[in-house]
Structure 1
Amino acid sequence: MRVLVVGAGALGAYYGSLLSKAGHHVHFIARGNNLVALQSKGIRIVSDIDGFELNHVEVSERVPDSFLPDIALVTVKNYDLENALEICHRIGENAAILTLQNGLWAHEAAAHSFPDNLILPGLTYATLTLEDPGVVRQCGGKPLIQFGSNNGITEKVNFFAVAFKESGINTQVSENIHVNLWEKFSFICALSSVTSAFQSSIGSIRDNPLQWNSFCEAMKESVGVARIYQPDLPNDLLHIHLENAKKLAYTSRSSMLDDLLKGRKIELPWLSEDLILRAKKVNFLTPMTLSLVKSIRESNVA
């Protein structure tokens, strides 16, 4: 299988490396220091589960004319998605496109740009950090990819799922991926906004009654909006989310907070600000989320 990985950050480097290690023909798209590191040293995965090194990888800034992938994994952050899709315009209409961004809009943007391609809306649960260019640290449990298709579970969808599983990737094919996307979206909106607004880990927030109350209120709002758009979500989703938040490692925090503290762009427009816009369309009030977003936007770091 020929695989194009658009964005060789933590997510793309990790999943792309597993596919390459399993014998698939993988080409990475990278830029800047990451491009230089991959060209010179390859990729190193640091993990208690499946750490390994790839001393040589195919990598460039653009898709080579001769490389026609079977599937493109788009693993950039939301703010780089338009550029990533522009890069993908050279892949041909036979390639499937798997989007793994946080939020709800990436697969829609891909479908708009590639109406003739198979679009696989997807998500991932993974604790991955790019420690240095070309060096990815994986923590916690085994990362998971979920994806589906607007056309149902077709033979081609199953083909990719089997290829991923045989490469050591924990993979689930979903019959209703949009429910799964909203389930994750509702959780990550609260987690990212609260940890970023207070610039604290989830453990520190749990220890602070006022901050934990803010988290609970933000989660109520995000779940409330999600259930309007996706009635098939579990009835006890709020309870599930809060219990999962209690189980997170004390030092866990959102990638948005990491980006804030490092002076990078943040995904707020595609997470909590998107939630607020969708809430307004259905006349659902989100005062806590509005307050958290205002705090983040007023932050000296932001």
Structure 2
Amino acid sequence: MRVAVIGAGALGSTFAALLDRAGHEVTLVARGEQLKAVREHGIRLGGGFGDWRTTRLVAVPRLEAGSRVDLVLFAVKAQDTAAALDEHGDTIGGAPVLVIQNGLEGVDTVSSALPDSSCIGALSIVAASYLEPGSVTVTTPATTYIGRGTGSPDAEVRKLEAELGEALKLSAIGNFVGAQWTKLLVNQLNALPAITGESVQAVIADRPLRRIMARSMRETVRTGIAAGIRFGSLQGLGNLRLRFFALLPVTLGQALPLLFALRMGSVPNPGSTLQSLKRGQRTEIDFLNGAVVRQARSLGRTAPVNETLTELVHKVEESGVFLTPGDVGHAVETARH
């Protein structure tokens, strides 16, 4: 299969390398030092999916007009969606698009911009670190879930699962919209590492920070419930379990971030938002914690913990200075009261 991967960050590079290893014809759209490194040495994939250096992959700064591809993997960060669509919308043409993106709006945004393309959503639980051009390390290998809408997987989703499921560890799921909300909860792991400069595991090991994370997760679930969401099944989490979690006091709710840390293992996971900061890039926090804030406001509610965490990530973006756990705790408590 001829596949174009737009977005050469941690996930885009991981998927490009896995497709190359499976024998597919891959074109990776990359920029700057990443483009240079991949052109010279390919992508070196290490960690949970095994070791591989790409052999046939082609790296380009943009897709050329008339490019013939069977599938596009749209793997840019949510905040870069508009720019990527402006640049590549005409060259994608009517090729089907797999949108691998966090947040709630990615599939709808891409579908609206590319009316001739059939768009399928993807939720990846893979934890991968890209802190050096041309190299990506998978710290947590996991399934990537694909689907669209609130119903059962349709024929096109099943076809993609059959064609690339083994190479990319894809699994077709129903109630994809509900699963997006469950993934939004999982993405609550990102903000505090970005604010403090610590790994996800280190943040969860810190009891005051863990309580803040549990509060942000509970706030996310309660907002989803208010919006009438039936949470999708993802990583052992589902609608009934998350609704029960929303009722728990924060002391007991800390069990959820502790469970995530247990599944991650001992290899420090910086989280994607902290990785963006370390590369000097804008983060997608407005589409993670910020998405909870927007949803709450649309319902006439507030989400003070998520709003504070969003503001603190932006503060670190602007200053380049990480905050102490004490500073974070003070800001959150002030917002809550």
TM over 0.5: same fold? yes
Aligned to 2:17: 17
Q: Quick one: distance in 1 between partners of 2:270 and 2:285? A: 15
Aligned to 1:97: 97
Q: Report the CA distance between 1:72 and its aligned residue.
A: 0.5
Matched, 1:269 2:286: yes
Structure 1 residue ranges without an equivalent (≥5): none
Q: Quick one: distance in 1 between partners of 2:315 and 2:269? A: 23
Paired AA for residue 272 in structure 1 = N
Q: Report the CA distance between 1:194 and its aligned residue.
A: 2.7
* Paired residues for 1:62-81 under 5 Å: 62-81=62-81
Matched, 1:61 2:72: no
Contact 2:96 2:119 in 1 (8 A): yes
Contact 1:197 1:293 in 2 (8 A): no
Identity %: 22
Aligned residues: 298
Aligned to 1:244: 259
| TM-score computed with the length of structure 2 as normaliser | 0.81
SS in 1 for 2:280: coil
Paired AA for residue 170 in structure 2 = T
Matched, 1:280 2:285: no
Paired AA for residue 162 in structure 1 = A
Matched, 1:186 2:205: no
291 and 137 in structure 1: CA distance in 2 versus 1, 3 angstrom threshold: same
Aligned to 2:147: 148
Q: Report the CA distance between 1:126 and its aligned residue.
A: 0.9
Contact 2:45 2:135 in 1 (8 A): yes
Contact 2:178 2:230 in 1 (8 A): yes
| TM-score computed with the length of structure 1 as normaliser | 0.89
Aligned to 2:230: 232
Q: Report the CA distance between 1:152 and its aligned residue.
A: 5.5
Q: Quick one: distance in 2 between partners of 1:166 and 1:187? A: 24
Structure with greater strand percent: 1
Q: Structure 1, residues 258-302: CA drift from partner, whole Å, max 9, x if none?
A: 323443211121111221111011123222222323333333227
Aligned to 1:296: 313
Structure 2 residue ranges without an equivalent (≥5): 232-238, 246-252, 322-337
Q: Quick one: distance in 1 between partners of 2:164 and 2:265? A: 28
SS in 1 for 2:15: helix
SS in 2 for 1:68: coil
Q: Report the CA distance between 1:178 and its aligned residue.
A: 0.8
Q: Structure 1, residues 103-142: CA drift from partner, whole Å, max 9, x if none?
A: 11111110110122111011101111224222111123x2
